[in-house]
Amino acid sequence: MQNPENSTIAGRLASLRQAMRAHRIDALMVPSADPHLSEYLPPRWQGREWLSNFTGSVGTFIITADFAGVWTDGRYWTQAESELAGTGVQLMKISSGASVQYVDWLAATLQRGQTVAVDGAVLGLSIARLLQQALQAKGVDLRTDLDLLNEVWQDRPALPDAPVYEHLPPYAVTPRAAKLAELRAEMARLGAQHHVISTLDDIAYLFNLRGSDVNYNPIFLSHALIGADQATLFVAEGKVPSELAAILAQDKVVLAPYAAANAALAALPPGSTLLLDPRRITSGTRQAVPSSVNVVEAINPTTFAKSKKTEAEAFHVRDTMEQDGAALCEFFSELEQTLANPQRAPLTEYEIGTRITAARSRRPGFVSPSFGTIAGFKANGAIMHYRAPVEGSAVIEGDGLLLIDSGGQYVGGTTDITRVIAVGRITAEHKRDFTLVLKGMMALSVTRFPRGTKSPMLDAIARAPIWAEGVDFGHGTGHGVGYFMNVHEGPQSISPSAMPEAHTAMEPGMITSIEPGIYRPGKWGIRIENLVLNRLAGDHGFGPFLAFETLTLCPIDTRCVDKALLRADEVQWLNDYHATVRARLSPHVGGAALAWLEERTVAI
């Protein structure tokens, strides 16, 4: 039974400080992470939220005897200020989600001889190395062998127990055996006889398996150890049905308990070579590897392989985009009818997510949302990762802009789309910002670039039309997207906070979002997002070039466009896009949804 003192954040912090004193810990860091460094965490590892009340997906919690704070970036500041109010936990603003300013704070704040603790099982190896280096320079000790949450979180959630299932043909295009063979060939090239994988999307991709252990992502908790002849999948007992276990065995994939992964690493033969990705495993996993084992550090080969969709996978993605676009036609048609009815019951932002999921669920192949729908009306649209509360969310009425960012998981692909629509009458300022964002999205959509271009280098192309007006936005322009997989996927990232390293190179088959925005705090927010596919675009003597094929199919609200701000070629792009949307989606809708589609795709 839970201690009544822990019913409040203050009580939880007091209990944690008591545990810290017992272990002689001067500072405790709780990252937003699990043993797989996932973006969306199973409840068991949502300790930062439990301790602080901050629900954003990115943030690092640190507590000392007289301080508690959460470090997070500008996408979450407004949300964090609200959720942290009255908790005794401070908001520590950082410049970007990739920042590690909390490491500098720890090094500057603690004194020689003091101790910082963090659970090594959830501490990324790359961050652990930065932290160790910074603290050693100040004479501060680092402990990674404690999980103090277990001592104070008395009703801590258990591990998820949802079953694992197989991603089947025709949607699972490449057989499991072929993927394993490709991986082993890359291991051999790197001189490794063994390879450990902890990132859940890499594992799901490699074994053609899916699950539902993490909200929105069809993945399951597991580790994998790949050898020259056999692969071991470490997963909780009972999660893999016996029939599926027999199928896996045919490809020499054996099952072992989830908790046995570190022991298997510790038992690797002396003198053998292990391949691992230092950005995709935790410090605890790395510490399990004996010093007698040689280690090769390189990006997981599966990270590259799953990012480059095959032609057959692209075929299924295009079909998925038609189904998703049809669902959105039905949703927007119904939404606009509702908003135009003066006798209607109040419609809230929270209900938007329910309605859009209902529309998608009527489509073949739909499995789940790919993330929590963001529906922000007026000023709430300026909160980049806004989540409408179940109770008390804003009513959509009056005049303004409604931003809706949503997506779906289908057996044939993953979608992610943002649209902004006019509600009532909108102003010239609304139209100006909307058109600037549209210009940025179009500018990057039509860009051609040499194959192998580092993805962060493309970011400025989408920002240029917005920068020209002295405006900017505080998030990246684009992220990779999986194939019935994580909606945020690497290795490519079109973002100013990403380093243009070799592994960020753009290659054929990658699916990426293009989503510039403008956010006016307290007023409105605008983001327009399409997904695009890298396609070969010829070689004219300067090496192969790539171009983007736009995948997303949904009208862009031309009522929000100031045509005077568009060049003739931009008007043509928009009209051509809408003609394509109309032609591709018309066979999938009828009645009011078809009428809405035809009206919203009229050329300007």
Amino acid at 157: P
Q: Is 448 within 8 Å of 536 (Cβ atoms)?
A: no
Query: Hunting for tokens 């003609």 — which residue is that?
Result: 579
> What is the per-residue pLDDT across 463-479, written as a single tens digit (0 to 9) for each?
999 999 999 998 999 99
425 CB-contact burial (10 Å; exposed 0-12 / middle 13-18 / buried 19+): exposed
> What is the per-residue pLDDT across 343-355, written as a single tens digit (0 to 9) for each?
788 899 999 999 9
List the structure tokens of 248.
Answer: 């896996």
Q: How far is CA 160 from the centre of its chain?
A: 20
Which residue from 117, 124, 121 is spatially nearest to 100, judged by alpha carbons? 124
What CA–CA distance (Å, rounded) separates 355 from 335?
9
Give the list of residues 6+ apart from residue 369 with CB closer than 8 angstroms, or none.
216, 353, 357, 360, 406, 407, 408, 409
250 CB neighbour count, 10 Å cutoff? 9
Give the list of residues 6+ apart from residue 541 with CB closer than 8 angstroms, or none.
none
pLDDT of amino acid 561: 98
pLDDT band at 7 (very low <50, low <70, confident <90, very high): low
List the structure tokens of 303.
Answer: 């990270």
Which residue from 245, 488, 251, 211 is spatially nearest to 368, judged by alpha carbons? 211
Q: Is 400 within 8 Å of 207 (Cβ atoms)?
A: no
Cα 457 to Cα 44, 308, 453, 498, 535, distances in angstroms: 38, 19, 7, 9, 18
pLDDT of amino acid 99: 66
pLDDT of amino acid 3: 39
Cα 193 to Cα 197, 224, 246, distances in angstroms: 14, 14, 25
> What is the per-residue pLDDT across 517-560, written as a single tens digit (0 to 9) for each?
999 999 999 999 999 999 999 999 999 999 999 999 999 999 99
pLDDT of amino acid 94: 87
DSSP letter, residue 145: S
What CA–CA distance (Å, rounded) separates 406 from 377?
15
584 CB neighbour count, 10 Å cutoff? 15
Q: Is 543 within 8 Å of 448 (Cβ atoms)?
A: no
Q: Is 435 within 8 Å of 566 (Cβ atoms)?
A: yes
Q: Is 554 within 8 Å of 577 (Cβ atoms)?
A: no
Instruction: Using DSSP, state whether 245 is helix, strand or coil.
Output: helix
Which residue from 436, 575, 454, 442 is spatially nearest to 510, judged by alpha carbons? 454
C-alpha dihedral sign at 339, 345, 346, 347 = negative
pLDDT band at 19 (very low <50, low <70, confident <90, very high): very high
pLDDT of amino acid 39: 87
What CA–CA distance (Å, rounded) separates 116 from 102?
12
What the chain holds in terms of domains, given with CATH numbers, is 4-152 (3.40.350.10), 165-306 (3.40.350.10), 308-600 (3.90.230.10)
DSSP letter, residue 344: P
pLDDT band at 601 (very low <50, low <70, confident <90, very high): very high
Q: Is 164 within 8 Å of 220 (Cβ atoms)?
A: yes
> What is the per-residue pLDDT across 554-586, written as a single tens digit (0 to 9) for each?
999 999 999 999 999 999 999 999 999 999 999
| Maximum Cα–Cα distance across the chain | 76
**pTM score:** 0.92
